[in-house]
Amino acid sequence: MAVRVGSEYKEKGKRDARRHREKQKDVVKKKIKQIVSESSIITRKKGKTVKIPIREIVIPDFKPGNRKDDGEDAQAGFGQGDGKKGDEIGRRPASGHEPGKPGNEPGVDYIESEVDLEEVIEIMLEDLGLPNLRKKETMAHLEAVSGYRISGIRKSGPSVLLEKKQTSRQGIGRFYAYLETLKDETSKDELTCYTALKESDGDLGHAMSLLEDGIRAKYDDVDPFPIFTNKDLRYRDVREEFTHHSNAVIFAMMDVSASMTTDKKYLARSMLFWIHEFLKKIYETVEVRFIVHHAQAKLVDEDSFFKTGETGGTRCAEAYKLARSLIDSHYPTNLWNVYVFHFSDGEDWEVDATMQESRKLIEDNKINMLGYGEIRLDGRPFSSGLKNAFEKTFPVSSSDVDGLNVIAGEKSHPFLGLVIKDKDHILPAVKEFLKKERWQA
């Protein structure tokens, strides 16, 4: 026999699910910094979930107490002793929990809830006020032909688009117009005029000549036939249908030279991972080209990018040059929104060459943004050769935001530079890179 669940239980289940979802959202909002800097996320595979601890909802279980007597002051079996309404109740000292010693009191129960990474990103977008993932109309779009449709009838066009029904209707109309013209001009009867028109294959001038020569009627009835001129031809008006896709390409460039330690590379990869994830929400189509460099630059796949470890010197210009070559050959900026992000520790053997290539990206290629993240974990002041060179090359303003040193270019120079010193800077750095005004086409 089938078991039926009452509607009140179904509604209770829905309420519990909604409550659980709200608790998840609250936890994600409170733990955004920890989630963003979680090392296991940036190497995730598709479908990865994030585990977050949520305090378990405990339903109280009340048990009746035993009265000691039946008097007016009898204890009801619950509470902590004598007291009157309005008395302040202090905390009972926990047993076995002295400073420096392990406690023996029970802890708070938590459960681990798995949340899909996509949901985490949605919550973060909502909470951080980052670009609205549904409002793509403000972005530059790529127009693509999606198909063809007949939008009407026109008087010219290729023969393959000839609309026979409409054209025949026009031809029959012309037949009757010619027949009435012959009758009016010659005062002949309808069958005689029809005979002349038939014998002349619809040529009005020739039909006039036949009537003047005294042609006689040969037919008992008028059987109309279409007479065509170029003005009577009708063609289908076929037009292309276009769809508009917001498209972006990200050039993720990372310094993998000997001076970039494992911790530095981790921060760089974390930044690029989250930027990529958010841009996939903003744009319908996002391509990412991964470039690693030391003294030379090379294009790698995503897996290699997040795992590559290299040594050698540093020449950042090679990465910029490779990105510019790919933009020219595959991603013209009149069709693509182009974003270039470069992460390094700022040590560069040929700073002038790097500045020359970065200027070309902004001024010649007209990319949407050049983002530079400097990873500095050694406690040294913000005085790297590369950061100083950017400040001298582009018209920028410097400020401190949430502990980050930020250098932002003017609108004509879409440049943003950040100095990242530890894991706690990942979230504010992502927020700076993804501010709404930076993603307007």
- For 9-26, what is the mean pLDDT? 69
Q: Say what percent of the chain tops pLDDT 70.
A: 62
pLDDT at 135: 37
List the beta bridge partners of residue 142.
Answer: 245
pLDDT at 108: 47
pLDDT at 140: 45
pLDDT at 317: 94
pLDDT beyond 80 at 395: yes
Domains and CATH numbers, the chain: 47-55+112-132 (no CATH), 164-233 (1.10.8), 245-439 (3.40.50.410)
| CA proximity to 419, closest of 401, 431, 434, 436 | 401
pLDDT at 163: 85
Crossing angle of helices 317-330/351-359, nearest 10°?
A: 20
* Reported confidence tier of residue 302, pLDDT bands at 50, 70, 90: confident
* Reported confidence tier of residue 42, pLDDT bands at 50, 70, 90: low
> Checking DSSP bridges between strand 141-154 and strand 235-255, what pairing results, if any?
antiparallel
Q: What is the pLDDT of residues 89-135, one digit of tens each?
A: 555 555 555 555 555 555 544 455 566 667 777 766 666 555 543 43
* Reported confidence tier of residue 26, pLDDT bands at 50, 70, 90: confident
Residue 430's CB is within 10 A of a number of other CB atoms, namely: 22
pTM above 0.95, yes or no: no
Q: Which helix (H) or strand (E) holds 420?
A: strand 415-420
Does residue 265 sit in helix, strand or coil?
helix
* Reported confidence tier of residue 314, pLDDT bands at 50, 70, 90: confident
Task: Give whole-number Cα distances, 187 to 64, 96, 173, 216, in Å.
Answer: 119, 127, 21, 14
Q: What is the pLDDT of residues 154-210, one digit of tens each?
A: 777 787 788 888 888 888 999 999 999 999 988 899 999 999 999 998 898 889 999
- For 249-276, what is the mean pLDDT? 85
- For 205-221, what is the mean pLDDT? 89
pLDDT at 2: 52
Indicate the burial class of 143 (C-beta count within 10 angstroms; 0-12, 13-18, 19 or more). exposed
pLDDT at 335: 81
Q: Which of 8-12, 183-187, 204-208, 293-297 has the lowest mean pLDDT?
A: 8-12
Interatomic CA distance for residues 344 and 215, integer angstroms: 99
Interatomic CA distance for residues 310 and 430, integer angstroms: 26
pLDDT at 340: 94
Interatomic CA distance for residues 395 and 409, integer angstroms: 6
**Contact assessment for residue 346 and residue 420, using Cβ atoms and an 8 Å cutoff:** no
Q: Which of 44-48, 310-314, 337-341 has the lowest mean pLDDT?
A: 44-48
**Contact assessment for residue 224 and residue 173, using Cβ atoms and an 8 Å cutoff:** no
Q: Which of 93-102, 283-292, 313-322, 404-413 has the lowest mean pLDDT?
A: 93-102
Instruction: Pull the structure tokens for residue 247.
Output: 């498209």
- For 133-154, what is the mean pLDDT? 54
Indicate the burial class of 229 (C-beta count within 10 angstroms; 0-12, 13-18, 19 or more). exposed
In the block, which residue shows the tokens 């037919």?
A: 219
| Residues 6+ positions from 127 with CB-CB distance below 8 Å | 28, 29, 32
Q: Which residue has the higher pLDDT, 197 or 147?
A: 197
Q: Which residue has the higher pLDDT, 72 or 119?
A: 119
Q: What is the pLDDT of residues 359-376, one digit of tens each?
A: 999 988 889 889 999 988
* Reported confidence tier of residue 83, pLDDT bands at 50, 70, 90: low
List the beta bridge partners of residue 250.
Answer: 288, 339
Instruction: Pull the structure tokens for residue 251.
Output: 């050039």
The DSSP output letter for 184 is: H
